[in-house]
Amino acid sequence: MKSILQPLLMIIAMALGMTAAATLPARALVELNVNKGNVEPLPIAITDFQGGDALGAEISGIVSADLKRSGLFAPIDKSAFIEKISNPDATPRFEDWKVINAQALVTGSVSKEADGRVRAQYRLWDTFAGQQMSGEQFFANDANTRRVAHIIADAIYERLTGEKGYFDTRVVFIDESGAKNARKKRLAIMDQDGANIRYLSDGRSIVLTPRFSPNRQEITYMSYESGQPKVYLLQIETGQRELVGDFPGMTFAPRFSPDGQKVIMSLLRDDGNSNIFAMDLRSRSTTRLTNSTAIDTSPSYSPDGSKVVFTSDRGGRAQIYVMGADGSGQTRISFGDGVYSTPVWSPRGDLIAFTKQTAGEFQIGVMRVDGSGERILSTGFQQEGPTWAPNGRVLMFFRDSAGGPKLVSVDLTGRNEQSIPTANFASDPAWSPLLE
């Protein structure tokens, strides 16, 4: 299998010259407080990047779409612009941008270097303070111009919110096509906005639950190619694949540890019990973490690797439990009505996302790590499988409607729900860390 990720020839972030704003305290410039309960989207003007023919407009369009989709920014319609930027390095006429209430302004340019690389640069301006806030330039090959746009969007997001962005990321998922009773399922990967879909398997065998390694371009997933579900590791760039282990019985829901050195999963033994095991990927040694007569499944590590969240029906119906990474201190944390499943620890460490089925509805929600503060973010028919953006601000999941599953994202307010475009039906998403 050929590499599906074209490596950048070079991505260099070089700071562009800044005005006196660089020495001003951060509070002197516009900023967005994302920790408030109700965040009003920040009006921002994003001009077409100069040069590069249509490429400049394409890059600025991707930046604008990324920021808008976050729900934290409201890009202003270009038809309202008064000043037409012709020199992105020159100080803009701030009065023209204040008139249309653009609290922040992005200008930029794109050019082709003598060695064939694309050079893209941007400047972020605070229109009311009349100052430049940041500016960088990036170099890439033609195949990675979309990625440069995502990196610029991340830089703007971080400068205005104080938190890391999540746009320069990938999502691996199950692409589903064909009739419902003969569905073809393939491993697929795409940019977080649905672009650049590539297929990692040929669809001859059913594949399920792909999950990203936290520190490598590697995924773990299940395949039924031998008639029984087995866990595989796949190197995305090389296509190299290896069997994690030939376990007796059924294997479910593998996930990586935060350091990428272990895989945690549930195994169904001949006695009908499903328990949780961790495997060291270097030694291939396996450690049993639960030993109950119930169904223990869907384990997920905390970001520091010290704890594991999972579901168990040991209390009569599936609820959420937390234990130490060695299996100690198993404690139930959910006590709401309904059935809980697919818990996933936030990369920030402060929340656990879950699927909940109650009163005939499927809900995507979050709770604190002690089970308190449960909040439902989305309710619908047959939706499940949340996965976190690497900054812990957005969840993606899949919802079955109109004949098949599609991907959906929602932020922690629950008010910014977005459909993720895919060519076919799509399920089981898993969000990558920020790319290196």
More confident residue, 204 or 426: 426
Residue 52 in domain: yes
Residue 224 in domain: yes
Does residue 199 sit in the same domain as residue 135? no
Residue 16 in domain: no
Phi, psi of 370 (to 5 degrees): -100, 5
With a CB cutoff of 8 Å and minimum separation 6, the contacts of 386 are: 342, 344, 353, 354, 355, 364, 395, 396, 397
| pLDDT value of position 155 | 96
Q: Tell me the residue range of the domain where 247 lies.
A: 169-434
Does residue 267 sit in the same domain as residue 232? yes
pLDDT at residue 253 greater than cutoff 80 = no
Average pLDDT rounded to a whole number, residues 54-64: 94
Domain boundary among 112, 130, 161: 161
Question: Mean pLDDT lowest for which of 31-40, 58-67, 280-289?
Answer: 31-40
Helix (H, G, I), strand (E, B) or coil at 145: helix
Does residue 297 sit in the same domain as residue 386? yes
Residue 330 in domain: yes
With a CB cutoff of 8 Å and minimum separation 6, the contacts of 430 are: 171, 172, 173, 209, 210, 211, 212, 219, 387
| pLDDT value of position 342 | 95
Question: Mean pLDDT lowest for which of 171-175, 178-182, 197-201?
Answer: 178-182
Question: Mean pLDDT lowest for which of 101-105, 201-205, 208-212, 269-273?
Answer: 269-273
As a whole number of angstroms, the distance between CA 391 and CA 385 comes to 18
As a whole number of angstroms, the distance between CA 36 and CA 55 comes to 36
Residue 12 in domain: no
| pLDDT value of position 110 | 93
Does residue 83 sit in the same domain as residue 230? no
Count of domains forming the chain? 2
Residue 79 in domain: yes
Domain boundary among 161, 179, 211: 161
What is the DSSP secondary-structure string of 14-42?
EEPP--GGGGS-GGGS----TTSSSPPPE
Residue 25, beta-bridge partner list = none
Does residue 139 sit in the same domain as residue 176? no
Confidence of residue 28 (pLDDT cuts 50, 70, 90): very low
Phi, psi of 425 (to 5 degrees): -65, 155
Does residue 215 sit in the same domain as residue 146? no
As a whole number of angstroms, the distance between CA 123 and CA 91 comes to 10
Q: Give 359-415 pLDDT, tens digit per residue.
A: 889 999 999 999 999 999 999 989 999 999 999 999 999 999 778 999 999 999 999
What is the DSSP secondary-structure string of 335-352?
-SSSEEEEEEE-TTSSEE
As a whole number of angstroms, the distance between CA 433 and CA 436 comes to 9
Task: Please give the structure tokens belonging to residue 316.
Answer: 């009569």
Residue 298 in domain: yes
Q: Are strands 42-46 and 73-75 parallel, antiparallel or unpaired?
A: parallel
357: left (phi over 0), alpha (psi -120 to 50) or beta: beta
| pLDDT value of position 64 | 98
| Residue whose structure tokens are 């030993």 | 291
Does residue 187 sit in the same domain as residue 92? no
As a whole number of angstroms, the distance between CA 396 and CA 414 comes to 12
Instruction: Identify whether the C-beta of residue 60 lies closer than 8 Å to the C-beta of residue 48.
Output: yes
10 Å Cβ neighbour count for 182? 6
Task: Please give the structure tokens belonging to residue 191.
Answer: 């940019």
Does residue 104 sit in the same domain as residue 176? no
Kindly report the CATH number assigned to the domain that includes residue 60. Answer: 3.40.50.10070
10 Å Cβ neighbour count for 112? 14
Largest Cα separation within the chain, whole Å, is 74
Residue 25 in domain: no
Average pLDDT rounded to a whole number, residues 4-32: 46
Domain boundary among 161, 183, 206: 161
Q: Give 203-249 pLDDT, tens digit per residue.
A: 888 899 999 998 778 999 988 887 777 889 999 988 899 988 767 66
Residue among 37, 43, 33 nearest 412 (CA): 37
- In 32-187, alpha helices (H): 54-69, 94-99, 145-161
CA distances from 119 to 104, 106, 142 (A): 23, 16, 10
Does residue 197 sit in the same domain as residue 148? no
Does residue 347 sit in the same domain as residue 221? yes
With a CB cutoff of 8 Å and minimum separation 6, the contacts of 159 are: 124, 133, 134
Instruction: Identify whether the C-beta of residue 318 lies closer than 8 Å to the C-beta of residue 273.
Output: no
More confident residue, 100 or 32: 100
Write b or e for each residue in 42-58: b if 16 or more Cβ atoms lie within 10 A of its Cβ, otherwise e. bbbbbbbbbebeebbbb
Phi, psi of 52 (to 5 degrees): 70, 20
| pLDDT value of position 14 | 57
CA distances from 38 to 187, 225, 271 (A): 37, 48, 50
Kindly report the CATH number assigned to the domain that includes residue 249. Answer: 2.120.10.30
pLDDT at residue 310 greater than cutoff 80 = yes
Average pLDDT rounded to a whole number, residues 338-356: 97
pTM: 0.90
Does residue 250 sit in the same domain as residue 392? yes
Does residue 198 sit in the same domain as residue 125? no
pLDDT at residue 267 greater than cutoff 60 = yes
